[in-house]
């Protein structure tokens, strides 16, 4: 078994996935997946398919496909660009036109051009020249114009008091309306997309719902190297809920099967059949999780060191 095949197989087994699960996710035949794990690339259709299959396999098990191809480029053949020669289009035989046909064509072309010009002039005359101007607005001559204005009448005797008892009238203060939750893309931190969650100082709740099939889900506090809150191959129709009091790191294997919301607001995850990494950062939090993500070595490098 090759080093690349051992890496992919170990990543698959760590996530509890079988070759049938990878086949369903990537739409790659099982015998091709077995050939990739064993390092027998002769079974595959060609060098281009080897690279494409390895990238799809890496995404399905949560690895970075570009980093895998870079580290194991000595095992993966380079894609060869096939040179194709485009056949020269046969020229249609030129028809010999008679002088009479050319004369008729010129006459028809002149008639069409003059007709088009006349049509434009008619349209301009109908919609611009012949358009009735709007009647001027009439001013009511009976309306009296004065600069004087009467101040509103005030009752200084019982202002703010109950007219029956004379006691002060208390006005209830209006209840403030909470600001809506906002999910704003901030930047890319390492391999993760960071979203700022607002408004600051409000309590937020995260919900991760699995829909349509199983998917690997990993949730950590304070970035990729923080405390693990959840890590499993989640079953469909299950939901995980967390209070967003600090930075939350989320890694999913199938973004198209996972729906992530904050207070009911959908967090964009690409919605594709591949892995996705997210950082949810509440505005005003003491740490944004950047150091935790940047300082963590790539998962593929760690696997190669082992």
- The 10s digit of each residue's pLDDT in 40-66 is 777 777 777 888 888 888 888 888 888
Split at pLDDT 50, 70, 90, the class of 79 is low
| Total Cβ atoms within 10 A of residue 204 | 20
Per-residue pLDDT of 162-213, as tens digits, reads 556 656 666 667 777 778 989 899 999 888 899 899 888 778 898 999 998 8
Q: What Rg, from alpha-carbon coordinates, does the chain have?
A: 36
> Half-sphere exposure of 105 toward its Cβ, with a 13 Å CA cutoff?
6
| Total Cβ atoms within 10 A of residue 69 | 19
Query: Given this model, what pLDDT does residue 111 score?
Result: 94
Strand pairing report for 192-198 and 276-282: parallel
Question: Is pLDDT above 50 for 298?
Answer: no
Q: In what order do the strands lie in the sheet with 228-234?
A: 182-189, 192-198, 276-282, 248-252, 215-221, 228-234
Task: Report how far apart the first and last C-alpha atoms of the chain are (Å, whole number).
Answer: 16
Average confidence (pLDDT) over 150-171? 56
Query: Could you tell me which residue, 121 or 151, shows the higher pLDDT?
Result: 121
Query: Given this model, what pLDDT does residue 161 score?
Result: 55
Per-residue pLDDT of 85-142, as tens digits, reads 344 444 554 554 556 777 888 898 899 999 999 999 999 888 877 665 555 555 555 5
**Cα separations (Å) of 285 from 113, 124, 202, 221, 280?**
70, 64, 11, 13, 11
Determine which of 103-117, 236-250, 275-289 has the lowest per-residue pLDDT on average: 275-289
Query: Given this model, what pLDDT does residue 283 score?
Result: 93
Cα–Cα distance for residue pair 62/69, rounded to 1 Å: 14
Percentage of residues of the chain with pLDDT beyond 70: 71
Size of the chain, expressed as the number of residues it contains: 306
Cα–Cα distance for residue pair 203/282, rounded to 1 Å: 9
Query: Could you tell me which residue, 241 or 151, shows the higher pLDDT?
Result: 241
Query: Given this model, what pLDDT does residue 304 score?
Result: 35
- Residue 58 main-chain phi, psi, to 5 deg: -65, -45
> Half-sphere exposure of 157 toward its Cβ, with a 13 Å CA cutoff?
2
Tell me what the pLDDT averaged over the chain comes to: 76
Cα–Cα distance for residue pair 56/25, rounded to 1 Å: 9
Query: Given this model, what pLDDT does residue 77 score?
Result: 67
Query: Given this model, what pLDDT does residue 227 score?
Result: 92
Split at pLDDT 50, 70, 90, the class of 144 is low
Query: Given this model, what pLDDT does residue 31 score?
Result: 87
The CA-based angle 46-51-52, given to 5 degrees, is 95
Question: Is pLDDT above 90 for 230?
Answer: yes
Beta-bridged to residue 195, according to DSSP, are 185, 280
Percentage of residues of the chain with pLDDT beyond 90: 15
Strand pairing report for 228-234 and 276-282: unpaired
Query: Given this model, what pLDDT does residue 196 score?
Result: 92
Question: Is pLDDT above 70 for 9?
Answer: yes
Whose CA is closest to 278, among 203, 211, 183, 205? 183
Whose CA is closest to 289, among 245, 239, 233? 245
Instruction: Give me the domains of the chain, ranges plus CATH numbers.
Output: 3-71 (1.10.260.40), 182-296 (no CATH)
Cα–Cα distance for residue pair 146/153, rounded to 1 Å: 20
Query: Given this model, what pLDDT does residue 241 score?
Result: 93
**Cα separations (Å) of 35 from 53, 91, 259?**
11, 49, 34
Token pair recorded at residue 18 = 């079988």
């Amino acid at each position: 078994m090759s080093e690349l095949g051992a890496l992919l197989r170990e990543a698959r087994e760590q996530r509890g996935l079988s070759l049938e699960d990878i086949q369903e996710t990537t739409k790659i035949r099982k015998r091709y997946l077995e050939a990739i794990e064993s390092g027998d690339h002769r079974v595959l259709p060609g060098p281009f398919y080897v690279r494409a299959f390895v990238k799809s396999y890496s995404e399905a098990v949560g690895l970075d496909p570009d980093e895998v191809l870079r580290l194991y480029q000595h095992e993966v053949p380079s894609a060869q660009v096939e040179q194709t020669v485009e056949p020269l289009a046969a020229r249609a035989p030129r028809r010999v036109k008679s002088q009479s046909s050319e004369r008729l064509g010129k006459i028809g072309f002149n008639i069409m051009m003059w007709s088009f010009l006349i049509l434009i002039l008619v349209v301009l005359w109908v919609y611009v020249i012949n358009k009735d101007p709007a009647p001027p607005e009439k001013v009511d001559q009976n309306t009296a114009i004065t600069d004087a204005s009467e101040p509103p009448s005030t009752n200084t005797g019982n202002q703010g008091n109950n007219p029956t008892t004379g006691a002060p009238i208390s006005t209830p203060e209006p209840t403030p309306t909470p600001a809506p939750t906002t999910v704003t893309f901030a930047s890319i931190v390492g391999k993760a997309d960071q979203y700022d969650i607002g408004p600051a100082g409000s309590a937020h709740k995260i919900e991760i719902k699995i829909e349509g099939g199983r998917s690997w889900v990993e949730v950590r506090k304070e970035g990729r190297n923080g405390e693990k809150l959840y890590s499993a191959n989640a079953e469909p129709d299950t939901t995980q809920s967390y209070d967003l009091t600090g930075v939350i790191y989320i890694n999913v294997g199938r973004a198209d099967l996972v729906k992530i919301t904050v207070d009911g607001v959908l967090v964009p995850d690409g919605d594709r059949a591949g892995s996705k990494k997210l950082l949810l950062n509440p505005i005003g939090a003491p740490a944004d999780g950047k150091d935790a993500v940047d300082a963590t070595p790539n998962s593929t490098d760690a696997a190669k060191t082992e």
